[in-house]
Structure 1
């Protein structure tokens, strides 16, 4: 397989990586859906060390941080290196009615899944309707 060197493509790649490094933390794509009585947030974090993932809840703000480090093998000659390394960050404002104390997270196959349960008091509930005659204490009026 013959590989050709394109200096302009290489220049574009280097410029993009330098600009990326100056921008700070990278954006992580997420999916969010409701399943029963909890929300499920799925964040793509392929190649991230699970120990570098940090999920915080501060008030109503959910913050996800992760770090992907570059492979530090000096004996390798890179032909292409397009996977982003560095810090990843995502913050979401959580609405009312969520049980922020019971949020849990699991990382598997490059996907971080965060379970966000709905609080008990925010769940729909039935109100019992009583039937029959209401008895009230009615005092007769006395006229003088």
Structure 2
């Protein structure tokens, strides 16, 4: 007995159509450029004695595009990222991409923060905040070193 195969001509044509579409498109559509450009701020918050330590991953962000605000026990971090990619073949540009996005995170801590003694630093794509605890808080925008 021979192998019996059931074929659906419409399904086969659609399958070939989409297979060929994706196979012949430029690398732009098959790459993960869009997945790489998603800007998502990851945070780690720890408590060390009389201070909170916050680490935020902000890869590819310029220090001047980061803003940190402290108001009592409320901490707000915002950042803006700009990325440009360009692929050339010889002198001609094959395609060019630009991405601009913003990220914002805000969270509250158990205790108010002493904004006057708070510190912020940014190195290798990681923002680190040292936020000493205080009984009563005051608002301040931190300068990043």
TM-score, with length taken from structure 1: 0.56
Match of 2:60 in 1: 47
Q: Which runs of 4+ in 1 moved over 4 A?
A: 4-7, 11-17, 72-79
Structure 1 residue runs without a partner (length 5+): 21-25, 122-144
Does 55-64 or 102-111 show the bigger shift?
55-64
Q: Deviations over 1:87-134 (max 9, x none)?
A: 01110113334323322110001000011112279xxxxxxxxxxxxx
Bigger Rg, which one:
1
**What CA distance in whole angstroms lies between the structure 1 residues aligned with 2:64 and 2:75?**
18
Taking the aligned partners of 1:53 and 1:15, their CA distance within structure 2 comes to 22
User: 2:133 matched to 1:114?
Assistant: no
Matches within 5 A, 1:51-70: 51-70=64-83
Alignment correspondent of 2:29: 10
Contact 1:27–1:89 at 8 Å: present in 2 too? no
Give the whole-Å Cα distance in 1 for the aligned partners of 2:108 and 2:119. Answer: 16
Indicate the SS of the match to 2:41: coil
Query: What are the Cα deviations for residues 39-60 of structure 1, in whole angstroms up to 9, with x where unaligned?
Result: 1100000110100000012343
Q: List aligned pairs for 1:81-120, cutoff 5 A.
A: 85-119=100-134
Q: Return the structure number with greater strand share.
A: 2
Alignment gaps of 5+ in structure 2: 1-21, 137-145
CA 1:11 to 1:97, structure 2 compared with 1: closer, same or farther past 3 Å? same
- CA root-mean-square deviation: 3.8
